[in-house]
Amino acid sequence: MSILLTGGAGFIGSHTAVELINAGYDVVIVDNLSNSNEKVLNRIKTITGKYPKFYKIDVSVAEDLCKVFNENNITGVIHFAGFKCVPESTKIPLKYYRNNLDTTLSLLEVMNKYNCTAIVFSSSATVYGDKNPVPFKENMPVGGATNAYGRTKLMIEDILTDVAVASTDFSAVLLRYFNPIGAHPSGLIGEAPDGIPNNLMPYVTQTAVGVREFLTIYGTDYNTHDGTGVRDYIHVVDLARGHVAAIKYATEHTGVEAINLGTGNGSSVWDVVHAFEKANNIQIPVVIGKRRPGDIDECYASVDKAAKLLGWRAELTLEDMCKDSWNWQKKNPKGYED
Ligand code: WQD
């Protein structure tokens, strides 16, 4: 029995592959490598001793996906494949709708054909929008995403909900990630964004390693304890372990559940910069800039449902995240391109 990871060569997917293999699962990765690197597969082998089965395909091509299901006994799917750059999604929304929805619809049709009824979906806290009070709870109203990327996540949550209502044996767990950062402690796999990073931690680590001259802090006038944006940063290894618990839950239950994957703690941009400097004894040059359009003041998770349903809580600290992020970046200054 195998778990299929669509987009499994990416940042979250590769860390989830490691934790699934460590938990005794067989893993099959499908990825078109549009935003990932095949070198990660050897790194997973070095970490776990097992080379994951890999198919370089586009999930939206049903014929290719059928070959994967024909050749493997897929008992559950974790669906990571999709474009995920917020600013890019506002510039080329049609590509985001076409890609993120096509891959999902193709996957669901092939799962139905092969009677595979359990899926875990890589969703995002961005579905909560900016009107809810923190901490965000799963039963709060969703919507109000400020970009096409976030709207595709919400649309896919709705698609999975409709399928679960129509098919009583279907099971979907919608994992709403907060802010995944960090890297596997080996430093062999980590976050390797293409081009200029949009997200805070990869920008910090690229500044620390000298690829970037300074970090720009986007706004210091937010309604937070120090004026900079507050987010719920979660170690990617904790997040990956949450996926192991989620796929176990999905294969043992039916119906649809939205579940937050966060720590329940909010950290500001300054908190992250200072924690990184202290953990790694490095100074990060900083420039204060204007707010970034679409950013909200505060975003952090209510974590009780994950504990109750999945028996999972995040355990790693912001210091762990900063140390592991730096360990990855200093060993791989150019990501997987080295
Ligand atoms: C965090 C904080 C910025 C960069 C997004 C998506 C979410 C998920 C994670 C995909 C904010 C500040 C950032 C910088 C800065 N996407 N910042 N200087 O925007 O909370 O979440 O990424 O998986 O769905 O919405 O994350 O890391 O971009 O920003 O000051 O160079 O850091 O203003 O307050 P965000 P982020």
At 17 the pLDDT is: 98
- Report CA(291)–ligand 1 centroid distance (Å): 12
Pocket test for ligand 1, best of 204, 211, 292 (most atoms within 8 A of CB): 292
At 1 the pLDDT is: 84
Of 8-12, 176-180, 294-298, the range with the lowest mean pLDDT is: 294-298
Letter for the amino acid at 93? Answer: P
At 261 the pLDDT is: 98
Which helix (DSSP H) or strand (DSSP E) does residue 267 occupy? Answer: strand 267-268
Mean pLDDT over the full length of the chain: 97
Rounded mean pLDDT, 187-191: 98
pTM of the model: 0.98
Q: Is the pLDDT of residue 202 over 80?
A: yes
Q: Among residues 55, 149, 203, 222, which one is catalytic?
A: 149
Cα angle value 23/306/248 (rounded, 5°): 35
Q: Is the pLDDT of residue 182 over 80?
A: yes
Q: Is the pLDDT of residue 323 over 80?
A: yes
| Ligand 1 lining (C-beta closer than 6 Å) | 84, 86, 124, 126, 179, 198-200, 203, 215-218, 229, 231, 269, 292, 295
Which helix (DSSP H) or strand (DSSP E) does residue 239 occupy? Answer: helix 236-252
**CA proximity to 44, closest of 11, 87, 68, 77:** 11
Q: 273-285: b or e for each residue (b if 16 or more CB lie within 10 Å)?
A: bbbbeebbebebe
Of 73-77, 83-87, 112-116, 173-177, the range with the lowest mean pLDDT is: 83-87
Confidence of residue 144 (pLDDT cuts 50, 70, 90): confident
DSSP single-letter state for residue 228? S
Q: What is the pLDDT of residues 221-261, one digit of tens each?
A: 999 999 999 999 999 999 999 999 999 999 999 999 999 99
At 32 the pLDDT is: 97
Contact, 77 vs 170, CB < 8 A? no
CB neighbour list of residue 103: distance below 8 Å, 6 or more residues apart:
6, 58, 59, 60, 79, 81, 82
- What is the spatial distance between Cα 40 and Cα 15, in angstroms, rounded to a whole number? 10
Confidence of residue 146 (pLDDT cuts 50, 70, 90): confident
Of 76-85, 91-100, 137-146, 263-272, the range with the lowest mean pLDDT is: 137-146
Q: What is the pLDDT of residues 52-67, one digit of tens each?
A: 999 999 999 999 999 9
96 is catalytic: no
- What is the spatial distance between Cα 177 and Cα 324, in angstroms, rounded to a whole number? 19
Q: Percent helix, strand and coil across the chain, each rounded to 5?
A: 45, 20, 40
Confidence of residue 145 (pLDDT cuts 50, 70, 90): confident
- Report CA(300)–ligand 1 centroid distance (Å): 13
Q: Is the pLDDT of residue 266 over 80?
A: yes
Confidence of residue 330 (pLDDT cuts 50, 70, 90): very high
Q: Which atom of ligand 1 is nearest to the CA of 229?
A: 34
Q: Is the pLDDT of residue 272 over 80?
A: yes
Tokens 């899926």, located at residue: 119
Rounded mean pLDDT, 26-39: 97
| Percentage of the residues of the chain whose pLDDT score is greater than 90 | 97
Q: 137-169: b or e for each residue (b if 16 or more CB lie within 10 Å)?
A: bbeeebeebbbbbbbbbbbbbebbeebbeeeee
Report, in angstroms and rounded to the nearest whole number, the Rg of the chain calculated over CA atoms.
Answer: 19
At 200 the pLDDT is: 98
Rounded mean pLDDT, 112-131: 97
DSSP single-letter state for residue 82? S
At 154 the pLDDT is: 97
Interaxial angle between packed helices 200-208 and 269-280, expressed in degrees from 0 to 180 and rounded to the nearest 10: 40
Q: Which atom of ligand 1 is nearest to the CA of 289?
A: 30
| Closest residue by CA, ligand 1 atom 36 | 199
